[in-house]
Amino acid sequence: MAALATKQVVSHLASPQKLSASTASPPPKLANLVCVLSGCNSRYGIGWATALEFAKHQPKALFVTDIHSDKLDDLVNAIKEISSVTTAHAMKMDQSLEADVAGVVDEALKLYGRLDVFFINGGILGANEPLLGGESATNFMDVMKVNALGPFVGCKHGARGMLVTSKDKPVPKGSIIVTSSIAGLNGGTASIAYGASKAASINLVKHVAIELKGNNIRVNAILPGMTETGMSKPAFDGLRASGRLGILGDLNPLLRHAMPQEMATVVVFLASEDASYINGTSITVDGGWTASHPFLAIRPPNASV
């Protein structure tokens, strides 16, 4: 069952329709834009996949950042292979440290005189301990610092950069996108700290969008469902080893989990003019997980995977 479920995901992403769409040459959606992305160091993560998807749409510059930076140069090289018109910069940045975030924004303004897109994607799970059996205030605040304070700092300095105008950008404008989670919508889908931090980011984008009214800066979040990333890899590996990977399909009507590329295309949409009237909201990308509650036993009895 696990092998069949995995095959289903791979075949979905590598179908002839998908390949023809991704290898075609549509008009670039991010041409001439300067973009900052955080949480990009994992080859299997949403940040990495989004950076490559951005490159397909020919931005002027991509700043790929992470608190861990050992693989960022590889990502820069991959971006160069996709787009000859995009300059990629690798920078170490702790998204929860205001000085780090301000420094990256300042570097973008120094080199290009503008900032157009900020994808605030970094996050941590933290320890998953019960409230009365091991959860600590220290762990709770560590998670909140990265997952809630980080988006706040990113919104603050991202907006500051997007307000800067120039000959090439005569009016303020930009798009800020935060990676939240469906864990911020309901209890029981993750640890207390993780769920609370993601709920905070869902509300944050609403407040920031209102705060920035009249400045042409849109602020939104994506809410991924169960996605196979570097952070979730241990859980997926455990399910594969035990032959239980297919149970993830029981949690949504598409009967499968998601891959990072499926989040990346949504981020590109929100960053582009295609989403010019979407502001102050969250887009749930979960295969229908949250369409019903509880999320149990929706697989039809005769399903093959």
Residue type, 261: Q
Give the count of alpha carbons within 13 A of 104, CB side only: 35
b/e sequence 10-43, b meaning 16+ C-beta within 10 Å:
eeeeeeeeeeeeeeeeeebbbeebbbbbbbbbbe
What HEC string does 173-226 produce? CEEEEEECCHHHCCCCCCCHHHHHHHHHHHHHHHHHHHHCCCCCEEEEEEEECC
Q: Tell me, what DSSP letter sits at residue 38?
A: -
Q: Please give the helix or strand (H or E) that residue 158 lies within, else none.
A: helix 150-162
Let me know: does 225 contact 248? Beta carbons within 8 Å: no
Count of H-run helices and E-run strands, the chain: 10, 7
CA distance 2 to 16: 23
- The phi, psi pair for 95, rounded to 5°, reads -70, -10
Q: Which of 44, 112, 194, 277 is catalytic?
A: 194
Catalytic residue flag (residue 277)? no
Helix axes 46-55, 72-82, angle to 10 degrees: 30
The runs of H, that is alpha helices, within 83-120 are 98-112
The answer to whether 64 touches 70, Cβ cutoff 8 Å, is no
Active site residues: 194
